[in-house]
Amino acid sequence: MVKDVLAAVLGLSAMAVAQNTLIVDPGNPAAYATLTSAVAAAQDGDIIRITPSVALIDAPPLIDKSLRIIGQGAALRGAMQVSIPAGKEFTLQGCSLGLPVFLAFPVLATFADCAGRVTLIDCPGGFCRVLIRDCAQVLLSGCGMLGDEAPGLEVVRSTVSLERCTLLGQDGSYELSYAAREGLLLSSAQVQCVDCVIHGGNQGLHLGGNVPGTLAVGASLSTLTIAGPATSIASGVGFTGVPIVLNASTLTLAPEVNAAWTGGTVTVQAVPTILANNMALGQTGTLQLRSPAGTFGAILVGQPGDRATLPGVGDFWLDPHATCTAVLGIQGTANNLTWTIAIPNAAAFAASQFRWQGVSFDGVALHASPPGATMLR
């Protein structure tokens, strides 16, 4: 079993081998000077690495290939559209979406009509406008978004899962005539949030007048799940209403989350989640299933797969042909179901993506946790 799990984690079974690795380094004549030129030259399955010397780089206007783009702190700027057809996947890791400086080089990122898999991992917060529209399976892990005249994140007719993300709406500004915006805005969407910080924009105060703050989450015709003890849902300063407003929407809220709401249909119930630590090359990583004591639980680890819905259970985001059960047992009072693995510091494993999910059985029904992901580096 250990060998099977290691094979799944390290991408050794049924792994699609990248054709090439392209380097982006404006100071190196043997490398690509821009990310746009590297994307144009890349083929499906290629890896694009941005060297640490690049601090700010223009985003490619269009990405419609199976690519893994790995930055080492580079900030993207400008407009970018990602449209990934079915059967393809796009992963972005280690690139900031804009700079955390107001009015300085925001990125306008649109993920549109993506039937294929889209994953953003460890993309820290910068000022941006991020819209996910008509996408079947988008996973955001460890990302930050500061709304630039926009919500922190807007999702329309899409299925999105977020873990450890920070979504901050645009603050109000009297001088610039900016209205405060939501941290998360949903329309006909299906979204899961685990251990996320979602705050509405703050009020803008000025001698000439004030712009009020606003709510954290607005959802219309949507299904939303919020869970995880590290979650923070808060309206912006200067807003007196509740932080979550639902219009013909349903919300599943885990008991550990402290948030008020109005409208919609709300169910407060336990949601199984996974807490990940040190899932990187050369580290001893752990995955801990958080679920009610006495329930029967499992931790599944494997390669990315197309999202599949099991009625009454939830969505699975792992490849069923390259997934192993890492842990199986009865949950204790201290969330004792934990998987520990020593991850080799081997270059051959770099840029391998894997995912995890938990499953909990309470004696009546199975419940799938939202997914998590990493790309080894």
pLDDT > 70: percent of the chain: 95
Q: Is the pLDDT of residue 4 over 80?
A: no
Check residue 16 and give its pLDDT: 46
Under a CB-based contact definition with an 8 Å cutoff, are residues 140 and 165 in contact? yes
Position 10 scores a pLDDT of 54
Confidence of residue 208 (pLDDT cuts 50, 70, 90): confident
Residue 167 has pLDDT above 70, yes or no: yes
Q: Given this model, what pLDDT does residue 19 score?
A: 76
| Residue 377 pLDDT | 82
Give residue 234's Cα distance to chain centre. 20
Q: Judge residue 366's burial from the number of C-beta atoms within 10 Å of its C-beta, 0-12 exposed, 13-18 middle, 19 or more buried.
A: middle
Alpha-carbon distance of 80 to 205, in angstroms, equals 33
Residue 165, pLDDT score: 98
- Asked if the 273-375 domain carries CATH number 2.20.130.20, the reply is yes
Distance in angstroms (rounded) separating the CA atoms of residues 148 and 163: 22
Region 224-253: what's the mean pLDDT? 97
CA 356 to CA 59: how far, in whole Å? 29
For residue 27, report the phi and psi dihedrals to the nearest 5 degrees.
-90, 0
The CA distance from 374 to 376, in Å, is 6
pLDDT(9) > 70: no
Task: Place 349 in a pLDDT band, splitting at 50, 70 and 90.
Answer: confident
Instruction: Name the 3-class secondary structure at 36.
Output: helix
User: pLDDT tens for residues 266-315?
Assistant: 999 999 999 999 999 999 999 999 999 999 999 999 999 999 999 989 99
Higher pLDDT, residue 118 or 207: 118
pLDDT of 351: 85
Mean pLDDT of 231-256: 97
| Euclidean distance between CA atoms 374 and 332, whole angstroms | 27
List CB contacts of 199: < 8 A, sequence separation 6 or more.
152, 167, 168, 169, 183, 216, 232, 233, 234, 235, 236
Instruction: Considering only residues 18 and 308, tell me which one the structure prediction assigns the higher pLDDT.
Output: 308
Q: Quickly state the pLDDT bin for 12 (edges 50, 70, 90).
A: very low
- pLDDT-derived band at 329 (thresholds 50, 70, 90) equals very high
Q: How confident is the model at residue 376 (pLDDT cuts 50, 70, 90)?
A: confident
Q: Where are the domains of the chain?
A: 17-268, 273-375
Helix (H, G, I), strand (E, B) or coil at 37: helix
Q: Return d(Cα 67, Cα 177) in angstroms, integer.
A: 39
Tell me: pLDDT of 91 over 60. yes
pTM to 2 decimal places:
0.94
Q: What is the pLDDT of residue 13?
A: 38
Q: Binning pLDDT at 50, 70 and 90, where does residue 1 land?
A: very low
Name the average pLDDT for the chain: 93
Mean pLDDT of all residues in 89-109: 89
Residue, of 174 and 79, whose pLDDT is higher: 79
